A and B are shown apart, each in its own frame.
Chain A
């Protein structure tokens, strides 16, 4: 391990803050405390599985007071009885085996916890505890103190336990059981035709096979009949019609065959077909359990807020119980849950997630504040104007796009093909039937059924699930998490890409800072750093991180005037940092840029300018994309950056500024009316409407475990420059599917030539069917892997 990294969390250690404890280096007292807790409880094994697995515990004073409220707690609990309570908590930090280990040993840290079990994929821990010995609040506080803070939001309050649908597994199990046994029982007749032994037992084998095929026919394949029937009713001719027809014809003809002793039937092919197709379904079903693509404001909102009663007492109440006229207490970093009026003197509110505006806005007493903003600064009081459901932000969700989305149906590539395939197949079957009926009625029926059997588009139906399933996995390993396989097809059809500005093409993390003015000496930098240490203002924090590490000085006076700046006295020098207003230094009109001005010992030195930092590879990406796509940048921000963007991005990029959330939505709608297939890439809640409206909404996130609005895919921010690759790859995937369709049609032609001439024997069907499946599956897998490497 690098000696300069914290033993607990792995972050770089700032020399001034370094703490040495038990011969190990820590970056802060928080990390050291966690180590102390673990070593006191003999849990230092935690560090054996993984290097520096921990997280620094956050300051959570008062944050979980709402867990004293019994009603809220009982809503969160999964199971409740006198001595046993069970709760499932979502913990975003779960990422390695050390996490599993420590979370499953929680009972050593807190008395009363009977057991705890981690589900790694869902990033959840299920804790069973005795309510007489401990309570949920203590558990949550204890977990926060060791760096595993659970994420409790309004969403937890409402979700009921979802029942897991495992029917596909059952169906596959049953189909495989039938397929395997029938295959074995069919072999004797394949190899010993006409011999004495088989003549004697033929009836027994055949009827046994018939009995074994019943569960597969009636249970496993049931979904196909339902789907086929639905598509006939809606006149959509999807791929399930020829499949269902094939299965039913196979079953009926085979039953007739053995009943009248014509032959052994096609039961093995039928069960194999059902089994392989269900397997394809399973393969396509790649889900990312720890991500949720359906999140709305509920997973962003707190579950409870602090209400101030008329007699001055504080009480935690459920967010939905907040009424007009209530007074609420909002702490630093807490979210404002409802629209209201600020009662305290002043505060800063960060609306970046709602409007895309990056710089916190100053609000004075009596100003209206809107739900969704994050309060920065001291504790404030507010009076409620609207309840949660009537607040501005939540109203956005009552827009139609969020409702109609559910039944929006795409025509998949397979369905498009089957629109031609199904009629062609039926036509061929009837023509052959018409031809043979004049020659021989029995052969006519045989040919008719044989065509439907052999043309049953097993390979065709398997192509898309296996290709898309594999592609889904490959892009998932490259940190683009798509909701389902149809998103890939949609991705290939996109011709217009709309980008949000703040948080999407710029990063929130690294804002590049430049200094303008008289050069600062080392001593002055030291003063500056020491002044900033005491401030929690976001700009102060960023500037603090930007200035290189300095020695600590002695602060004799420190005053932070919220919304203006800081005044401090350190080692006998006076330092003033803040807005130009605060320093009474009016420079040129630069209100569009974010600046922090510096004055030391009464002399104006200069200012730090905070520029928007664009993501790496942005220019290149736009350059490449502009050749094939229409590009639009849609921003909720003012047009202060227009010039820079115009210079940086290709000429044909459309730039639109000052867009409110509903305007963004309308913008996308207009593009769609022009017949464009729009992909929207955005991040915040302000993009939620646009993401839902667009054909594909991709949400970009620095940390995929934390909130992202409802979307079709979540892209890890580090992969931003790869968007071009993902777009190209989705097109490749479609090409692979087309090639593979060609291949499977080839098999159909071979099979049909047997069928039309009336020569289809069960053994030919039993060979062609698995052979085509294996070829198709390996073809698409190899091809999609090869294209990914390109």
Chain B
């Protein structure tokens, strides 16, 4: 058997895996709201900065 069968089968399987991932992403609602997550991911840093400030304040008090 030629290697071409194997290679093409692999390539199709890889593509099918991507299709499956795409469908699962759609199903979980990832494409319903395309704005909020993009903003949300920027927030964590701000929160940490805030808590650090508090911590330093506490340290100063100590």
Contact = CB atoms under 8 A, between A and B. Distances in A.
Contacts of B54: 42
Contacts of A117: 36
Interface string A98-130: 001100110000000000011111100000000
A208 B8 contact: yes
Contacts of B23: 170, 173
Interface string A140-177: 00000000000000000000000010100110011001
B39 A177 contact: no
Contacts of B12: 181, 208, 212
Contacts of A170: 23, 26
A177 B18 CA distance: 9
A121 B33 CA distance: 7
Most A C-beta atoms less than 10 A away, residue of B4, B11, B29, B34: B4
A101 B46 contact: yes
Interface in A174-220: 174, 177, 180-181, 184-185, 201, 204, 208, 212
Given A45-B46, A173-B26, A174-B19, A120 B32 contact: no
Contacts of B51: 42
Interface in A67-122: 97, 100-101, 104-105, 117-122
Contacts of A100: 36, 39-40, 43
A201 B4 contact: yes
Contacts of B15: 177, 180-181
B28 to A, nearest CB: 10
Contacts of A45: 46-47, 50
Given A45-B47, A101-B46, A164-B32, A185 B8 contact: yes
A48 interface: yes
Contacts, number: 65
Interface of B: 2, 4-5, 8, 11-12, 15-16, 18-19, 22-23, 26-27, 29, 31-36, 39-40, 42-43, 46-47, 50-51, 54
Given A173-B26, A181-B11, A201-B4, 17 more contacts: A42-B54, A45-B47, A97-B42, A100-B40, A119-B32, A120-B39, A121-B33, A121-B36, A164-B29, A166-B27, A170-B26, A173-B19, A177-B15, A177-B16, A184-B11, A208-B8, A208-B12
A115 to B, nearest CB: 12
A123 B34 CA distance: 13
Nearest to A124: B33
Contacts of B22: 173
Contact of A204 (B5, B16, B27, B43): B5
Contacts of B27: 166
Contacts of B11: 181, 184
A196 to B, nearest CB: 13
Nearest to B46: A45
Given A169-B31, A174-B19, A118 B5 contact: no
Interface string A349-387: 000000000000000000000000000000000000000
A700 to B, nearest CB: 26
Contacts of A185: 8
B31 to A, nearest CB: 6
20 contacts: A45-B47, A97-B42, A100-B39, A100-B40, A100-B43, A117-B36, A118-B36, A119-B32, A119-B33, A120-B36, A121-B33, A121-B35, A166-B26, A170-B23, A170-B26, A173-B22, A181-B12, A184-B11, A201-B2, A204-B4
Contacts of B40: 100, 104, 118
Nearest to B4: A201
Nearest to A105: B47
Interface string A687-700: 00000000000000
Contacts of A173: 19, 22-23, 26
Nearest to B34: A121
